[in-house]
């Protein structure tokens, strides 16, 4: 799979899966030996079991997510996607805004992902950026 198609699949799948709180759909995007960094200063999660652990824990405390994704920016086997998600987390309203940078293998699976994001303790709409 070419990296543009892989990145678009990643963005659309994450959007749909996050809104459905579907851990399995997210995990299916990752290679067996992926290195997944959910924040710059946290130790990375390794392998699909690590991705499942992280996503399962995150989705387990979230309700009613409304997810928006940017069109991916792709260069070579790497892509970045900005995202904006309003949700309830442990009963509190919140908005997460961030960017994921990933690298794909030739089959279109993520072999490396690095995320950075910010948290606002209320629901908020994005400021007019281009999202789907």
Q: What is the tens place of the pLDDT at every residue in 64-102?
A: 999 999 999 999 999 999 999 999 999 999 999 999 999
Q: What is the pLDDT of residue 129?
A: 74
pLDDT of residue 132 exceeding 80, the answer is no
Query: What global pTM score does this model have?
Result: 0.95
Helix (H, G, I), strand (E, B) or coil at 131: coil
pLDDT of residue 131 exceeding 90, the answer is no
Q: What is the pLDDT of residue 127?
A: 84
Q: What is the pLDDT of residue 25?
A: 98
Residue 113: partners with Cβ closer than 8 Å, 6 or more residues away: 30, 34, 35, 36, 37, 100, 101, 102, 103
Nearest to 82 by CA among 113, 108, 48, 117: 117
Rounded to the nearest integer, the mean pLDDT of the chain is 96
Domains of the chain: 3-120 (3.10.450.50)
| Pair 64, 49: CB distance under 8 Å | no
Q: List 63's β-bridge partners, or say none.
A: 88
């Amino acid at each position: 799979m070419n990296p543009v198609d892989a990145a678009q699949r990643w963005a659309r799948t994450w959007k749909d899966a996050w809104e459905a709180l579907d851990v399995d759909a997210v995990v299916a995007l990752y290679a067996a030996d992926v290195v997944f960094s959910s924040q710059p200063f946290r130790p990375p999660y390794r392998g699909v079991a690590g991705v499942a652990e992280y996503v399962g824990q995150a989705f387990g405390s979230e309700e009613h997510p409304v997810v928006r994704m940017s069109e991916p920016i792709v260069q070579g086997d790497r892509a970045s996607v900005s995202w904006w998600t309003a949700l309830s987390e442990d009963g509190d309203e919140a908005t997460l805004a961030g960017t994921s940078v990933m690298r794909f293998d030739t089959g279109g699976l993520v072999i490396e992902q690095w995320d950075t994001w910010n948290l606002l303790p209320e629901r908020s709409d994005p400021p007019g950026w281009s999202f789907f």
